[in-house]
Amino acid sequence: MTIQTIKTTPYTDQKPGTSGLRKSVKQFKKTDYLQTFVQAIFNTVEGITGSTLVLGGDGRYFNREAIQIILRMAAAAGFGKVILGQGGILSTPAASNLIRKYGAVGGIILSASHNPGGPEGDFGIKFNIRNGGPAPESLTEAIFATSQHIHEYRIAPIQPIPLDKLGHYELAGMPIEVIDPVADYMDLMESLFDFDKIAAMLQSGKFNMRFDAMHAVTGPYAQRILEERLGAPAGTVMHGQPLADFGGGHPDPNQAHAKELMSLLFARNGTIDFGAASDGDGDRNMVLGKQFFVTPSDSLAVLAANATVAPGYRSGITGIARSMPTSQAPDRVAAKLGLPCFETPTGWKFFGNLLDAGRITLCGEESFGTSSNHVREKDGLWAVLFWLNLLAEKQDSVANIVRQHWAEYGRNYYSRHDYEEIDLKAANELMAALQEQLTSLPGKTLGKRTVADADNFAYTDPVDGSVSRNQGIRILFTDGARIVFRLSGTGTQGATLRVYLESYEPDSSKHALDEQVALSDLIQIAADVARITEFTGREVADVIT
């Protein structure tokens, strides 16, 4: 079969962010836009010839069309085999597991994660490397550099592969295996958690839960594992059918977007004991108890403190890592357990070296991402199963478990305020103005707090020595409180300013305050020092989590 060589012109906007290349569907559907970026990946990644590629996505609009294009280009590039999720579906953590399990050279994951879908929504593509994790900055920068000099791409002639039928196929001499996207992942989860104990709790009739799949990729995974394997009642999984537009919703598992789940858990006389949600590609999670929200930072800390309840972690953990904007709650657990705790930039790829080197077992980000060394991605359903294992072991409520944790370690009051789709120029000016203040802030009194230090966070990887600069502006106070300012790397419209606020309270008699009340002075300090209203025109944040 003759491979076609198609002439093309480089696009200047194909620089990957923290989680690959994310653009609007309309941008991806421009002539050869997807093809140009895929060819840049194939031209950059070493060891492609004869190797295995894992391929799948979250089922959003353009997913199936993109997969057919990528299969044709993979055949032209000389891959020895493609492992493809049935229906084009693979959650991000499931893809990471497949890469590791089958020794693939890497995987292409088609997702814009928590961004909206549909014809007017977003699409995304990222490459995961041999360890199953996201490509490091050195590789994404090389892919972008290559994309700027792409003048042709190679592709096999059209030969549609039946995505929905399990089996073995061939395209231009390249084998393609369409696999059950859930089976390998479920086997992995069963090796980590006490499924018998969880099943007994779910089938007892005394414990009620809801899992909101948000019409995204985890629907099939949750239905197979929670309802079929563990015996939770039918209907436990809400919005379980993946839809190209996520049912018109925003597949971001937080209080603002999982409103139906929130209403069930916070109902005055509600009967649901445990609630959870995951996002578009299955790597994020939200955990709820009855009238109780667990922050992602606290979730990581609680799981770390109780890791040995799960069979896969019974021998203990080697260390913990968190992204810099994540609260310092996990640090306190690490200190008590005598374990190292690492503070990394935002972006899951920064955990990869630490995991591969055996320096850490658990890791997490405040943006609803938690995971461990079982894969090299954050894993939403894994976190939910970990909590179910903990609840089955403790025979206690979510709220009691977290409050007992606060009583032992103290409470890190924590919140994130997002100012979405603000003018990019104004956002950059705001950050530049903050940068100019850094040297003058230490020693100043802001409100009732004194600034101990202020910087633009830089990270030196303890494994390979690589340095990542300009990762977020921090204002650190003498009492341990923090304010962090970052521009998000996951949006596609304008800029999103994220403001992170944290204050530590060791006194258990003061642990019952509302987060926004406890952090009210820091909220005002942040608004004043960054001149948020002046630069953005916003009086309040668009999303508060």
* Active site amino acids: 113
Nearest of 458, 506, 516 to residue 480 by alpha carbon:
506
- 72, 103 Cβ separation under 8 angstroms: no
Secondary structure (DSSP) of 372-421: ETTSSS--HHHHHHHHHHHHHHHTS-HHHHHHHHHHHH-EEEEEEEEEEE
With a CB cutoff of 8 Å and minimum separation 6, the contacts of 520 are none
Token pair 């650190």: residue: 476
Burial of 543 (0-12, 13-18, 19+ CB in 10 A): middle
Cβ-based burial of 391 (10 A; exposed 0-12, middle 13-18, buried ≥19)? buried
Are 86 and 166 a contacting pair, CB within 8 Å? yes
H or E element in which residue 188 lies? helix 183-192
- Relative to beta strand 174-179, strand 81-89 is parallel
Q: Token digits for 373?
A: 């060394």
Q: How far apart are CA 212 and CA 259, in angstroms?
A: 10
DSSP string, 494-533: SEEEEEEEEEEE--GGGTTS-HHHHTHHHHHHHHHHHTHH
Q: Which residue has the tokens 């059950």?
A: 180
CA 83 to chain centroid: 23
Q: Tell me how far apart the alpha carbons of residues 36 and 40 are, in angstroms, rounded to a whole number.
A: 6
**What stretch of H or E contains 174?**
strand 174-179
Q: From residue 69, how far is each of 73, 124, 153, 158 by CA, in Å? A: 6, 14, 12, 8
Distance, CA of 104 to CA of 315 (rounded, Å)? 29
What is the DSSP secondary-structure string of 414-478?
EEEEEEEEE-HHHHHHHHHHHHHHTTT-TT-EETTEEEEEEEE--EE-TTT--EE----EEEEET
CA distance 78 to 431: 45
Q: Are 412 and 329 spatial neighbours (Cβ–Cβ below 8 Å)?
A: yes
What tokens appear for 434 in the block? 């903050």
Distance, CA of 288 to CA of 267 (rounded, Å): 12
8 A C-beta contact, residue 288 and residue 276: yes
> Three-class SS of residue 320?
strand
Residue pointed to by tokens 């563990």: 230
**Residue 513, both tokens:** 């305050």
